[in-house]
A and B are shown apart, each in its own frame.
Chain A
Amino acid sequence: MSNNKVITANELTKTFGDFVAVDHISFEVEKGEIFGFLGANGAGKTTAMRMLCGLSMPTSGKATVAGLDVYTENEKIKRSIGYMSQKFSLYDDLTVKENMQFYGGIYGKKDAFIKSKTASILQELHLEKEANVLVKSLPLGWKQKLAFSVAVFHEPEIVFLDEPTGGVDPVTRREFWNMIYQASANGITVFVTTHYMDEAEYCNRVSIMVDGRIEALDAPAQLKQQYHAASMDDVFLKLARKAVRAAD
């Protein structure tokens, strides 16, 4: 296996009873890549992501993350990844600083590291004045940016983002993507699901999931060419209309 492949999935499948949520998907993600994971609601994106993060046990197939097996080395994988879920999952009743301290601490980071990293993130996000403010009193856009910073606080190899910009205004979305580029430039591989097709254009490569299967996987420019579409929006609509599974 090449060292450049930080995520590999081979016929990865997850079933819930009769329902095949993720149907034999195979793909590879290279180091430092921004990999877009697209699909309609209920297409199986989150389930696939949860299997890679060690939150959900695959039914069959193979997968490695950071060179580690998702079946047997799932706890080791967790040291190398960051995760930002669909739900906002920082502690509302802790302050901005306390959240960073907590997540840094449970990843086993040293006090000095936590201190300097906290200071640099606060500066980047222009949140110095809000350092001791409870997270619940921040506006949503700020919370999302903070959640991303916390997800990469421990400097993971890969960060998984599950619809990170849902419900966020366009300006903040743009700022959010600047942060993603920054992380990618620092060598962090970004695995991101989204519903916004303009965001798909920002990715190095995208895969489009329909009914649990990967229907297309390539760079946005190639996909547009292949499907004779003017934008990623058209590509997505052409593929997603094939879906038989009802969106939830």
Chain B
Amino acid sequence: MINETIELKEGIKFHKIQTNKFKTNLLAIFLTMPLTKENVTKNALLAAVLRRGTKNMQTQEIISQNLEEMYGAGFDCGIEKNGDNQTIKLYLETINDEFLPEKEELLKKSFQIIFEIAFNPLIENGKFKTEYVQGEKENLKQIIEGKIDNKGSYAMERCIEEMYKNKAYGLYKYGYIEALDKITEEELYNHYKEVIKTCKIDIYASGMLPQNILEMVKENESIQKLQERKVQINEEPKQLIEQEKIIEEKMEVTQGKLVLGLDVDSNIENISYITMCYNTILGGGANSKMFQNVREKASLAYTVGSNYLKRKQNIIIRAGIEIQNYEKALEIIKQQLDDMKNGKFTQEDLNNAKNLIIATIENIPEEQDTQISYYFGQELANTNISTEEYKEKIQKVSKEQIVEVANSVKMNTIYFLRN
């Protein structure tokens, strides 16, 4: 596997991942901008409108036909929150030319199509097509309203919102209905022009790529039209709260959802690798403290575990519990946090955690989209760590380091969704 990054113009990079593990080539375009209350909804709507039609493929039907003609190329377009940034992501997956029944230049065509969707949308009278914008506003509204359908992810979303009140990271990636109602076709198009002029652009290609791939990208008209730009990754300073917040929300649920948001407050070297091990021992899988103590021993939860938000240095603990067991569950969870602080875990626990993390790292090059996401994460963090180095860093984590991190962990918010 070879990874190479070429700066096409300032702020616009092409990343090449040469790999022979797959039958497909995967192309991706990521448009990254600061996450702000003002633009979050517009960006989410933009991602939806772009896939409706382009100058040369005016309807969704024509786009679909083109994709089918390319042996069922898979196209996907969505929105993501990356720390204090928002990214519009476009993907196109096609079969590698080597495995086609007849010779065709699929890769070249793939670039044309994905660039066309991102950079050459359908414009009528100086704005996006009214019908498309209105239709997608309706769909996005359903997505935002549907946030409450999945109670587990809703509770997690709410906890993060409370932890980051009035801050970028507390925003919902699909935006807000109040803002959505006000967006006009014209405004959205003006916003789009601004995005294309200023956002950070990363183009990824993964697969068995030909020699002339860079030319394919450089020669593309849409790419040539893009101008250089100064880009910066948005990163708000972390503020620790003085006293933990306790939030209760009521909804018609049979199962209560308990979510605990914690801050990791340490500047120890290699903090993210150490915290990763800490998190895995605490709530990473079936062998973790949470799973063993909250679920297996106390039978308090159906689902329980913890996540590590690397970009914001937070641990989020989640448990689905009977509502009347709130106190008991909280007590046991806090006990686990204390045990971590006091070093009450074995070398075997640490080894199991390392095995689990290393298995995840080894999986990175085995899936094209996972690999692209990994490199994009490095790009945003401005680091360049190979998966081999990553594994070594995990291997080196010691019990003492974990205890040190454990003692820096502070409760930020306790959120409970109940009836």
A joins B in a complex: no
